Amino acid sequence: MKVSTVRTQFVEYIPSTRDEGVLYVSTKFRTAVHNCACGCGNKVVTPIDPARWHLSWDGIDATLSPSVGNWEFPCRSHYLIQRGDVRWSTQWTDKQIKAGAQRDREARIDQLAAPGPFKRTTFVARLFAHLRRVHRRMQ
């Protein structure tokens, strides 16, 4: 059954059996997991990571951003979780999905290449980020 709200439950480990309408958050493993909001029952895993998803919690409800696009599932659902409310978004075309996946890959490379106390900077990551910037300029 399609859900319109989710409640946040903080856990150490994500349970193998998940209740509908619950966003399970493991701060230990920096992950949030829920069943797809469309009701199909598929497990949606959202790593909490600056290049992937950001989770904010106001003491009652959670907001997960950016949107959740379940493009690999038959339902292809697309929604936001904002302060516990599920806000349905538009379906994406295959072209939009491909472009979004490319942006996600680039964001992860940028995150690895960026200096900072909690980021692992490697020569390979910096090299890929540099090559990607050069490639963009050439297009």
pLDDT at 19: 96
pTM: predicted TM-score of the whole model, two decimal places: 0.74
Tell me what pLDDT residue 124 has. Answer: 61
Domain definitions of the chain by residue range: 7-88, 94-138
Q: How far is CA 120 from CA 111, 113, 115, 126, 130, in A?
A: 9, 8, 8, 10, 16
Outline where DSSP puts E strands in 58-115: 62-69, 78-82, 85-88
C-alpha separations of 8 from 4, 23, 38, 45, 66 in Å: 14, 5, 18, 14, 17
pLDDT in tens, the chain (139 residues): 899 999 999 999 999 999 999 999 999 999 999 999 999 999 999 999 877 889 998 889 999 999 999 888 999 999 999 999 999 988 888 898 888 888 877 877 777 666 665 455 566 666 666 666 766 666 6
